[in-house]
Amino acid sequence: MNIIKCVHKVCTILMETSRPIYIWVLLLGIFIFPINIGAQELVLPKDSIITINLDEVILISARKTLDYHRQPKPLSTLDEYLESSKKVDMVKRGAYAWEPTLNNMFSERLSVTIDGMRIFGACTDKMDPVTSYVDVSNLSQAHIASGQQGTEHGNTIGGTINLELDRGNFKETGLYGGVETGFESNNQMSVVGAELNYSNSNFYVDTDIIYRKAENYFAGGDEEVEFSQFEKYNFSANGGYKIAEDQALTASLIYDEARDVGYPALTMDVSLARAIIASVGFEQDALWGSLSNWKSKLYFNKVTHVMDDTKRPDVPIHMDMPGWSDTYGFYSQAALQAKKHQFLFKVDGYYNKSLAEMTMYPNDPNELPMFMLTWPDVRTANGGVYAEDELDLKGSFLKIATRMTVQNQNVADEFGLNSLKIFYPEMEKSKTRFLKSISGQWHKMWMPWHFNAGLSYGDRAPSVTEGYGFYLFNSFDNHDYIGDPGLVNEKSMEANTKISWEKSKLKLSGEANFFHIADYIIGEIDPSLSVMTIGAEGVKIYKNLEYANLFNTSLDLEYAILPELTWSGLISYHRGTDNNGDNIPFISPFSYRSGLQFDNRSFSAALRITGAGKQVNYNPEFGEDQTQAYTVCSLTFGKTFKFNNDSMYAKFGVENIFDENYSTYTDWKNIPRMGRNFFLTLSYSIN
């Protein structure tokens, strides 16, 4: 029944032309279909997992490798892809724009980049994490590096998520394209996407477009979660041209726009979230004789975010909260190979403008609107150098990496500066910080044993919100937050280790990391302050705690019962405490996942179970309550069909089979997750 419903829905989408976005998609679709496309040479990307780093790579684009069977759910949102990572958890404020956390650390402790480009959300309430401004259609993979192993792309405490753009890269693949469509029953989400690419040894261009629209979703037990709808489209193009045998120019552009996005866990929705992300690059095989792989990039991105509460009933006061974040940046990097050494040098810099304002309209129409700057046009100028060396030590590898950064933050708006001076009369308009990171990672093999260990130190500057935020309401703990420009850098001392045992059929690994974070930045209640947001309980000021400790450990197991049938399991435990032994908020309880996967290249099936124990360590001061244990199951089937040269891949699945009503520790204000959901995706690729 559901399949019929799905197919019907897909047809209606294609027929519906009343929306301008559909027209674009349709046009592109029509454009692609009649094109006769030459033979394609399959180039499988080599496994990019670096042996030394404990990095995790999440494959997003299967299109070019026809590797669909490895994907649990093609055309799912990027958020769902990231959630499949072992280290990443997603904070949900609704069905859209989940915020990634890594090692139980949030955006401000992470560096999230797109192809190495820095980009910052424009929402003061974290409704637009960087990951919400790209879509799976743009990306080939997400590279997740834990802790200081991620400093290549910027200073970080928790780690880095680098989203790599999908590009032809001068492979001899010729012209090829595809259309994809998907439907999910629970929230009536329909997805339509198309791509058209051309690549040869001198020139490549990739274009794609994707459109998603979802209605409210239903939690287990048919409970409608109001204001969880969203609509978004994304267009991207990137290309490269070889100006000489060893030189290439590249360029990329992403346009991403979401409208009418509901945030059921918050008091406001979003009427517009838009990003334009653009770059030009230059690549050269060699530089000054000994350096190789010289890559440089100039980029800019512009993010606009407009919150909206006009659709909400019974708001105490209507308000407009637009925000803007513009970033201009560059990087240039080159490698050096010398006997046992493998160096990478990089210089990078960016300039970001973050401005957000709030206008509240009193219920008495005779009163003037109330206006404040919640981000006072903070200009961040950041420049750094990064160097790493991978040393081959006969039977073991050692990687040493370091980053030095200078960062200046300047409050450009006089109105905003005066606002902050209410709290900090002595504050300076401009503040310069020095940031540093050094890490060592060692990998020793005694086949089939692997041993990894790392020690590192790194620090980070406070985020714009932590340093300069002005009465930012956090609905989770129901407090207004005020930044402190005088915060000192947060410093992390980190140790990690991993032991694994790998034979052809069985892989077993245990992993742990420990962060001692001095001057940990967190909000603390200031009872002398009066709340701004109507209904808030109090006001918190960002403070440096003496320290906090975070510990994460996991045990991972994979066993190939048959060549086509694999069983995998993962259990993890996390703990976070501050210097008083109190719990740090948003620390995962004991969690587990297990899956049975069958795959014979043309047909695949998977059964997955994920769950978590009851949350034992939580902190009511930060609005947390005890999250109950849960277990959910999902089942998926995939099949590849061949038509001459073309192929079609269909995937059907059901998630949360038993329609469990549950929420996890990362669900903002305990909004329940999606109940039973059937999905169907169809990908047609023309070669």
In the stretch 456-475, what mask flags binding to other proteins with x, by CB under 8 A? --------------xx----
The answer to whether 415 contacts other proteins (rule: CB under 8 A) is yes
Nearest 5°: phi and psi at 320?
-110, 135
The answer to whether 531 contacts other proteins (rule: CB under 8 A) is yes
Q: Which of 370, 506, 616, 629 binds other proteins (CB under 8 A)?
A: 370
Please, is 282 exposed, middle or buried when counting C-beta atoms within 10 Å of its C-beta (0-12, 13-18, 19+)?
middle
The answer to whether 429 contacts other proteins (rule: CB under 8 A) is no
Provide the strand spans (E) within 49-120: 56-59, 88-91, 99-102, 110-114, 117-118
CA angle 457, 459, 465 (to 5 degrees): 155
- Rounded to a whole number of angstroms, the minimum distance from the CB of residue 124 to other proteins is 15
- Rounded to a whole number of angstroms, the minimum distance from the CB of residue 373 to other proteins is 8
The answer to whether 315 contacts other proteins (rule: CB under 8 A) is no
The answer to whether 364 contacts other proteins (rule: CB under 8 A) is yes
Cα–Cα distances (Å) from 39 to 176, 199, 660, in that order, read 9, 12, 47
Judged by CB under 8 A, which stretch of 14-22, 365-373, 516-524, 656-664 contacts other proteins? 365-373
| CA of residue 370 relative to chain centroid, distance | 34
Q: Which of 18, 36, 504, 528 binds other proteins (CB under 8 A)?
A: 528
- Residue reference for tokens 């041993």: 451
Q: Which of 534, 561, 616, 629 binds other proteins (CB under 8 A)?
A: 534
- Rounded to a whole number of angstroms, the minimum distance from the CB of residue 422 to other proteins is 4
Residue whose CB is less far from other proteins, 49 or 534: 534
The one-letter amino acid at 129: P
The answer to whether 362 contacts other proteins (rule: CB under 8 A) is yes
Judged by CB under 8 A, which stretch of 302-310, 523-531, 553-561, 672-680 contacts other proteins? 523-531
- Rounded to a whole number of angstroms, the minimum distance from the CB of residue 421 to other proteins is 6
- Size (the chain), residues: 687
The answer to whether 529 contacts other proteins (rule: CB under 8 A) is yes
Specify the 3-state DSSP secondary structure of 346.
strand
Burial track 16-46 (b if 16+ CB lie within 10 A, e otherwise):
eeeeebbeebbebbeebeeeebeebeeeeee
The answer to whether 360 contacts other proteins (rule: CB under 8 A) is yes
Contact 179, 194 (CB under 8 A): yes
Which two tokens mark 499?
Answer: 């032991």
The answer to whether 317 contacts other proteins (rule: CB under 8 A) is yes
- Rounded to a whole number of angstroms, the minimum distance from the CB of residue 366 to other proteins is 9
Nearest 5°: phi and psi at 669?
55, 35
Within 8 A by CB and 6+ apart from 675, the residues are: 186, 217, 218, 219, 220, 221, 222, 223, 656, 659, 660, 661
Judged by CB under 8 A, which stretch of 362-370, 401-409, 484-492, 566-574 contacts other proteins? 362-370
Within 8 A by CB and 6+ apart from 665, the residues are: 586, 587, 588, 589, 612, 615, 618, 624, 627
- Rounded to a whole number of angstroms, the minimum distance from the CB of residue 499 to other proteins is 53
Q: Which of 160, 199, 407, 419 binds other proteins (CB under 8 A)?
A: 419
Q: How many residues bind other proteins (CB under 8 A)?
A: 30
> Helices 2-15 and 20-32 meet at what angle, rounded to 10?
90
In the stretch 153-192, what mask flags binding to other proteins with x, by CB under 8 A? ----------------------------------------
| Interface residues toward other proteins, by CB under 8 A | 316-317, 358, 360, 362-364, 367-373, 415, 418-419, 421-423, 425, 470-471, 528-532, 534-535
